[in-house]
Amino acid sequence: MLLLVLLAIGGGAIVTLHPFGVGAQSALKPLAGQKNWQQGTSSLLFGTNDASWQWSQKHLGNAPAIAATVKSAGITVIRSPLHSDDAEARVAAIESTGAQCLGILQPEDAEQVVKMLGNRCRLYEFMNEPDNGGPSATEYAASWNKIIPGLRSINPQASFIGPVVAFPDLDYIRTFLTQAKQAGNLPDAVSFHMYPCTDTSIADCPSHFADYTKEAAKVKATVNDVLGQNLPLCITEYNFSWKPGQTPNNNPFMRQFTTQSLQAMAQAGIVMANQFDIASNAGGGALDMVDPQTGEAKPQLDAMKALIQQYSQGASTQATPTTASTTSAQITPTVIATAVPTIAPETGMVQTAMPLGVQQINCTSGQQNNGQDGCMLLVQVKGPQMVMLTWWNQNGRQVKSLNVQTSTNSIDGQDGKWTTIPVKLASSTGGGAQMFTLQKPGWVKVVVQPSTQEKKPVSGLVELYSVALANNN
């Protein structure tokens, strides 16, 4: 059974899916560079940290063997502290592995670093564990609200994440989000750290794997309570223990720890996770998952490599939104995604909602696209399957109508017979959602028509998800 819940909040609608399988979560705006892998799992879940280069003579920055091992595993994102005097070198080291950069910024040189790197780094956290002897939540939020808007103007494509707390510190998160909301300066994601087996034995550790789900649920509830909406959640440091000497990184158990930790985080809807760390002699060497001296992988990286191979097979969609051009009166439709849901053979039902595409639309009243009033988004979809469309009005400007048009006999997305399905909006400035079914492979057009009273463009986010059940059930 697939349960669809619509919650009207303010002028919009929030859609929550509860399908079978891993990675079920509300439709959220993806982070920069995020891709959708098998079972709706985020590609950014398979990350790590490149810690201080001062702790080990050999590290990612000067040992090609380490970089080669990390690259062969397919690590997708590497978190690294960035300063104006070393950002170029540290990002170059990350690039040598094929991974994406997640930079840790400090207030004193954040602007210089973001300017320097351009699009070489599009994920940033603001400070590291400020609740661990750093600024109070009020002070952190004030610094965030002062600095982050300027960084966003420097790199509008980047995602900025906070408050990077040392554990799921709900009071700190609540205070930060309250002040960020008041300033109209929300983070693109909320991040925290977890070391669930600190001060426990290998035998007791498995009982703590459920902590990821429990703590993520608490953070999610706090975010929703403050904002009335969800935000992506990130665990940007995790391992067995944060204390020196406690993580048994050479023990085969670390395969189980890593596999079950990542599976639990995927189940909890975490969109980015970063093991701590690669090869920096962290925790006296106990936290490293690559031997700094030899470049050989330890059990933790072996487990991550196997999961990356499993989840990345058949990955089909890039989740990063792109902005549609509005300068031309005639816009050629673009196919943004082709996907098919994963069906569980034992039940014949969809295992997860498969994102088909996410696209930003900016539309001016009176604009025409291919002979139609309004702005059009064209998507090719494999079928048969049921599709859910969500519309998020991002600037509160009035929409006259939002329609879905479907065709199963069009050759190129422009010819053929089309059926129009109106999408009911919560209000002219609110959000909406619509379910519809394609009985066989076909095309979907999303047509947005702004109110004639609007003199400025309507900006909104269109998201399409496959929520099909097998056998048209």
Contact call for residues 450 and 399 (beta carbons, < 8 A)? yes
pLDDT for res 384: 66
CATH 2.60.120.380 fits 321-472, yes or no: yes
Please tell me the predicted confidence (pLDDT) of residue 412.
65
**d(C-alpha 421, C-alpha 468), whole Å:** 18
pLDDT of residue 366: 67
- Report the distance separating Cα 377 and Cα 398, nearest Å: 19
Q: What pLDDT score does 472 carry?
A: 40
Phi, psi of 291 (to 5 degrees): -70, 115
Higher pLDDT, 448 or 263: 263
Q: Which amino acid is at 96?
A: S
Residue 384 CA neighbour count, 13 Å, CB half? 10
Domain boundaries along the sequence of the chain = 31-312, 321-472
**Burial call 293-322: b when 16+ CB within 10 Å, e when fewer:** eebebbbbbbbbbebbeebbeeebbbbbbe
Fold of 31-312: TIM Barrel (3.20.20)
Q: Is the pLDDT of residue 54 over 50?
A: yes
226 has pLDDT over 80: yes
Q: Picking from 51-60, 115-124, 148-157, which range would have the lowest pLDDT averaged per residue?
A: 51-60
Rg of the Cα atoms in the chain: 23
pTM for the model stands at 0.65
